[in-house]
Chains A and B, each alone.
Chain A
Amino acid sequence: MKNSDRIREWLLGDESLYYDTMAVKSQSINDEQAAVEEELIKGSLDQKEKTFDTKHNREIRTVSVLYNILAAVFVIFIFVNLLMCVSYLPPLEESQKAVNNEVSQRYIEKGLKECGSTNIVAGMILDYRAFDTFGESNVLFIATVTVLILMRNNRKKEDGAVSDPDDRRLEPKDDIILQKAATFLVPVIVMFGIYVIMNGHLSPGGGFSGGAVIGAGLILYANAFGFHKTERFFTEKTYKWISFTALTFYCLAKSYSFFTGANHLESHIPLGKAGAILSAGLILPLNICVGLVVACTMYTFYCMFRKGDF
């Protein structure tokens, strides 16, 4: 190529014909030149194969064998370590007398009187250790927001973007049997979930399991009727507002308890009679908050991984 052509090419920014492939010219080529160029191309491809050839490369083979050996050694080391730690634990009968179980003994004895709930586990996670549960609900929220950010479609909506991506075009839609069954089942499931949440302080259950059941009911509804109908009442805004409100209420309510407890004031939240539904102070509202966050999180994750956006 002449120099002026090269300069023009560089100015206009065309791709150079000599980059990464040897001797691909657009003009007519003689046969000799064609043969020479073919040999050069083959040589470069062979070079590529030699560089990326993993089967006959000695270094790669030694490194992979070494890696396997080191992985096995690492696993055995951790295994032996954990078994040694387990052997230091006290045997089963002496657990009542060991020093590290005073705390649990006190919680079991005074749990009912101080929390007011017959379910000691609910009293633990929502009364004695309410701060940890607050952290857990926050972790759920953060995880969902992170997934929303990572899977965001940056297409602008003015392009007339397709609302249904290609993935679910061919799935069976509008299955009459499933729809009729879902018409009966979804209210029952949601009611059952609400029952499990409300009875968190009386029998095993609580916010987390009840929220999971409500999330399952929403997933069934979305599966039977399609995402379009579910978007009528559950959009991205709904999710954000529900989670935000629930977590803020949790924070404010528990901050009040912390404040009055730390300053030795008397918090005027009644404990009520153990066994009634309106008892145990703040456990019932906190259960509802946690349940809402969990239900929204489950449905959001399902939506994200099936559809890509809300």
Chain B
Amino acid sequence: MHDISAFFDFTNHPVESTLICFMMGLALFLIICLVRAVKGPKACDRLVAVNMMGSITMVIIACLCVVLDEGFLADICLIYSLLSFLAVVLFAKVKIGIYRQELEREEAVLEQESIDILVKENTEGKNGNA
């Protein structure tokens, strides 16, 4: 069968119909994952959900490849997994860098404030003495 028009034709095309049922279930999982991506209080939660969505999409594309009997969809599956992995790695690296930079900046500000306080105390002491 080379088209998806016969959805639940279990008698004539049992293989394709069962695979389409699986694809529908997995698509439902995909939408539910999106809820976690929106809800998650931290950025890490969202990245985990997006990674999961990528894996589920891979299985859906592979099922489609078997249903439609086309060879090039397997290439698309591989490219998809590559891109999802690359996105997660890059995002994590950049976020760590940004966080550490902010931390350094905060520490520098705190140090500056403590130095200012020390200088003030010294000058007041001198004025008091003088």
Count class of interface residues, chain A? 20 to 34
Residue A189 interfacial (CB < 8 Å) = yes
Which chain A residues lie closer than 8 Å to B82 at the CB level? 189, 213, 216
Binds A, one of B3-11, B54-62, B95-103, B109-117: B95-103
Residue B93 interfacial (CB < 8 Å) = yes
Nearest-Cβ distance from residue A161 to partner chain B, whole angstroms:
20
Q: Which residue from A178, A213, A219, A220 sits with its C-beta under 8 Å from B79?
A: A213
Which chain A residues lie closer than 8 Å to B71 at the CB level? 203
Interface size counted on chain B using CB atoms at 8 A: 17
Bound-complex Cα distance A146 to B7 (A)? 51
Please state if B79 and A171 are interface contacts (CB–CB under 8 Å): no
Please state if B97 and A216 are interface contacts (CB–CB under 8 Å): no
Please state if A168 and B83 are interface contacts (CB–CB under 8 Å): no
Residue A196 interfacial (CB < 8 Å) = yes
Bound-complex Cα distance A270 to B104 (A)? 65
Please state if B100 and A170 are interface contacts (CB–CB under 8 Å): yes
Chain B residue nearest to A196 (CB atoms) is B75
Which chain B residues lie closer than 8 Å to A220 at the CB level? 86, 89
Which chain A residues lie closer than 8 Å to B94 at the CB level? 171
Which chain B residues lie closer than 8 Å to A178 at the CB level? 89
Residue A159 interfacial (CB < 8 Å) = no
Which chain A residues lie closer than 8 Å to B75 at the CB level? 196, 203-205
27 contacts between A and B (CB under 8 A): A166-B101, A167-B97, A167-B101, A168-B97, A169-B101, A170-B96, A170-B97, A170-B100, A170-B101, A170-B104, A171-B94, A172-B93, A172-B96, A178-B89, A189-B82, A192-B78, A196-B75, A203-B75, A204-B72, A205-B72, A209-B79, A213-B79, A213-B82, A219-B90, A220-B86, A220-B89, A223-B90
Binding site for A on B (CB under 8 A): 71-72, 75, 78-79, 82-83, 86, 89-90, 93-94, 96-97, 100-101, 104
Binding site for B on A (CB under 8 A): 166-172, 178, 189, 192, 196, 203-205, 209, 213, 216, 219-220, 223
Can you list the 10 inter-chain pairs with the closest CB atoms, starting with the nearest? A171-B97, A170-B100, A204-B72, A203-B72, A170-B97, A171-B93, A170-B101, A172-B96, A216-B86, A220-B86
